Amino acid sequence: MKKVILSCALALTFGTAAASQDFNGYIVKFKKGSNLLEQKSFKSIGNFEKLSLSFGDFAKLTNVNLSNKAISELANNPEIEYVEPNWIIKVDPVDNSEVAADPKYSQQWGLINTGKNSGGWFSPGKAGEDVNAEKAWEITKGSKDIIVAVIDTGIDYRHPDLKENLWTNDAELNGIEGVDDDGNGYVDDIYGYDFANNDADPVDGHSHGTHCAGVIGASHNSIGVKGVMANVKLMGIKFLSDSGSGETIGAIKSIEYATKMGAHITSNSWGGGAKSEALKEAIQAAYDAGTMFVAAAGNSRADNDAKPSYPASYAVDGIVTVGAMDGKGNRSSFSNYGKTSVHVFAPGSNILSTVKNGSYKKMSGTSMATPFVSGVLGLLLANEPGITIKEAKERLMESTVLNSSLSNYAASGRVDAYRMLMNERN
Ligand SMILES: [Ca+2]
Ligand SMILES: [Ca+2]
Ligand SMILES: [Ca+2]
């Protein structure tokens, strides 16, 4: 009886999803001890890429077009836990302003909103509607002990404003070319990994990931912009291609890599596809290992309480979902919201940060609000080593400023790094 229910549910998911959501092949989860993958008859179904993850044995099934009946049969195999589509995932859409921006701190209203921040593509804001970074920096500017993984389109790790704050895998940095020096399963992964192209070079050919990285941790030096954290280690994990799209399976591998390599926080400015059990399990496994998952609420102007947006809406405690606000402290017009499912708001309109090839640009999106929160949480973890991620999420949410303009849109309000560090609570 259980199997019938399962396959019905599966068919339903596929039926509704296929109409609106793209996917590439399938993710298969095997039950413990299954040796199906070794069996010849099973291999004839299609091309299986075996994946042994910390939370189970999986395979990515590609080069095959399965009928609903074939999928049901597969799902009903007693050695298979579930089969689901390998969704296509994209960077949250952003306004890619081509206007060259002068790299000046005075334009970074999200850090310190004077109400007069200038710089071309910016309408006057309201003083104080920011994450209160300058006051927070009197307490801490971060620490090189904190690793924040940017899971995105990669990072321009040669960017003069980022290169001092990059995570490196020292065993590989000082190791032998062509050899997996630290035995983590990946050869020459010095700055992170590229799961879009399956190589060890997570350089950013898009700019979205580099922009997020700069919001978190651009150096406080004499050039360009400042990150929320002056000191941090940024891990570059790429699963979104240079055109900005990727697959669920790449997201899963990225989260597993970040967790394994000791990231405290993963910053996730992407979304798309329908629900994936395997992706949820990856986020849960990261949480169980002590890694926080900060997620963009999405840019569809939609209510996530009514219609879930993934990965932001998975029911995993470690997820912090971030909406975007503008320089006046109002919800950015594009931002998703949710009285229960969106946890906090942060600056996300007209955000100046680093982009590829050593440049700077303004972008807008919940994609930009997300790294603000990753950085703010990084300050807390740096200042209070040993704080649990559950406590950190509570501190973040309970110390927000409860703008009336945001009160219908989130479980709390606008992030305030200083109040959070001072343990001020609502
Ligand atoms: Ca390695
Ligand atoms: Ca090596
Ligand atoms: Ca700088």
Residue span of the structural domain in which 173 resides? 105-421
User: Among the options 245, 267, 353, 367, which is catalytic?
Assistant: 367
One pLDDT digit (tens) per residue for the chain, 426 residues: 233 222 222 322 333 333 467 888 999 999 999 988 888 888 888 888 999 999 999 999 987 778 888 888 888 999 999 999 999 998 865 555 443 333 568 889 999 998 888 665 556 689 999 999 999 999 999 999 999 999 999 999 999 999 999 999 999 999 999 999 999 999 999 999 999 999 999 999 999 999 999 999 999 988 899 999 999 999 999 999 999 999 999 999 999 999 999 999 999 999 998 999 999 999 999 999 999 999 999 999 999 999 999 999 999 998 999 999 999 999 999 999 999 999 999 999 999 999 999 999 999 999 999 999 999 999 999 999 999 999 999 999 999 999 999 999 999 999 999 999 999 999
Q: How far apart are CA 86 and CA 209, in angstroms?
A: 22
Q: How far apart are CA 207 and CA 360, in angstroms?
A: 9
Structure confidence at residue 388 (pLDDT): 96
- What's the whole-model pTM score? 0.87
Structure confidence at residue 99 (pLDDT): 38
- Catalytic status, residue 343: no
User: Among the options 57, 92, 130, 152, which is catalytic?
Assistant: 152
User: Among the options 156, 181, 204, 208, which is catalytic?
Assistant: 208
Which among 61, 56, 57 is positioned nearest to 27, based on CA atoms? 61
Q: 88, 119, 142 — which closes off a domain?
A: 88
Q: Does a structural domain hold residue 301?
A: yes
> 3-state DSSP call for residue 421?
helix
- Tell me the ligand closest to 104's alpha carbon: 3
Tokens in use for 124?
């006057």
Which among 285, 288, 250 is positioned nearest to 268, based on CA atoms? 250
Q: Does a structural domain hold residue 99?
A: no
CATH number of the structural domain spanning residue 80: 3.30.70
Alpha-carbon Rg for the chain, nearest whole angstrom, is: 21
For strand 270-271 and strand 142-152, is the pairing parallel, antiparallel, or unpaired? unpaired
Counted domains in the chain: 2
Q: Are residues 75 and 126 in the same domain?
A: no
Q: Are residues 78 and 114 in the same domain?
A: no
Q: Where are the alpha helices (DSSP H) in 25-96?
A: 40-43, 68-76
Q: Are residues 138 and 246 in the same domain?
A: yes
User: How far does residue 255's CA lie from ligand 2's centre (Å)?
Assistant: 21
> How many degrees, rounded to 5, is the angle at CA 70 between CA 69 and CA 75?
95
Q: Are residues 77 and 213 in the same domain?
A: no
- One-letter amino acid identity for 354? T
- Catalytic status, residue 208: yes
Q: Are residues 68 and 124 in the same domain?
A: no
Q: Does a structural domain hold residue 97?
A: no
Structure confidence at residue 94 (pLDDT): 58
Q: 63, 88, 113 — which closes off a domain?
A: 88
HSE-CB for 370 with a 13 A CA cutoff: 39
- One-letter amino acid identity for 330? N
- Tell me the ligand closest to 175's alpha carbon: 2
- Residue with tokens 């405690």, as numbered in its chain: 317
Structure confidence at residue 73 (pLDDT): 87
- Catalytic status, residue 367: yes
Q: Are residues 142 and 79 in the same domain?
A: no
Q: Are residues 120 and 72 in the same domain?
A: no
Q: Are residues 41 and 114 in the same domain?
A: no
Q: 53, 88, 123 — which closes off a domain?
A: 88
CATH number of the structural domain spanning residue 258: 3.40.50.200
Q: Are residues 204 and 328 in the same domain?
A: yes
Q: Does a structural domain hold residue 100?
A: no
- Tell me the ligand closest to 160's alpha carbon: 3
Q: Are residues 143 and 197 in the same domain?
A: yes
- Phi, psi for residue 313 in degrees, rounded to 5: -95, 5
Q: Are residues 54 and 156 in the same domain?
A: no
Q: Does a structural domain hold residue 51?
A: yes
User: How far does residue 407's CA lie from ligand 2's centre (Å)?
Assistant: 50
Q: Are residues 49 and 142 in the same domain?
A: no
